[in-house]
Amino acid sequence: MKIVSVLFVSAVALCSNSWAQQQQLKSKQQPAAPAKTPSQPAGQAGVDTKTYVIGAEDILFIQVWNEPQLTKTYNVRPDGKISVPLIGELQASMLTPEKLGANVTEALSKLINHPDVTVSVQQVNSKKYFIMGEVQKTGSFPLVIPTTVLEALVNAGGFRDFAKKSDIVIMRGTQRMKFNYNDVIKGKHREQNILLEPGDQIIVR
């Protein structure tokens, strides 16, 4: 009986050692889980971080690597500033996202070793033009890149059936400018196809 017991115990120990070795081998073969990176919402389409000039009411996303308390969305206030934890008030308007990122990096460098900062524009609210009347899509449109009247009308999805294409009006403050779509697409009076400015209103009757 003693011999049987010793053999049984030895067999159990051998099986245990074999199972442990197999598990250890599996753990070595499994690839390490990739490091998690902070997710960044997609920026506003068409915004060039090197040339776009930030304005009041724009919505920004500032990502600071490994600093979750700083990585978040910021609304540019009417005074053109944002409030960033650890830093305080920073001027954002009249700067490009790239320049603002450099300013944030400089400020954080006094507190954090080699901060990695990215600034993107999530929503353009400071620069808009408006289209109303006989087009497929009316309302406000972000003026992200230089846009002509003709391009704006394309963005609005084109005309409705009874639109007066030859009698379109662009209102800019107290100015009223004419735009004849039929002429412009034929290459006539191209000077009417002006670049839009923030606040311009296109009226299609």
- 142, pLDDT greater than 80: yes
- 35, pLDDT greater than 80: no
- 136, pLDDT greater than 80: yes
Query: Mean of the pLDDT values across residues 12-17?
Result: 47
Look at the alpha carbons of 46, 49, 51, 52 in this order and tell me if their dihedral is positive or negative.
positive
- 40, pLDDT greater than 90: no
Q: What pLDDT does 46 receive?
A: 76
Q: What pLDDT does 39 receive?
A: 55
Cβ contact 38:117 at 8 Å: no
Supply the DSSP symbol for 35: P
List of domains in the chain: 59-123 (3.30.1950.10), 128-204 (3.10.560.10)
CA distance 49 to 43: 10
Q: What pLDDT does 4 receive?
A: 45
Q: What pLDDT does 18 receive?
A: 52
- 38, pLDDT greater than 60: no
Closest of 177, 180, 198, 200 to residue 188, by C-alpha: 180
Helix (H) or strand (E) holding 25: helix 2-29
Query: Mean of the pLDDT values across residues 99-111?
Result: 96
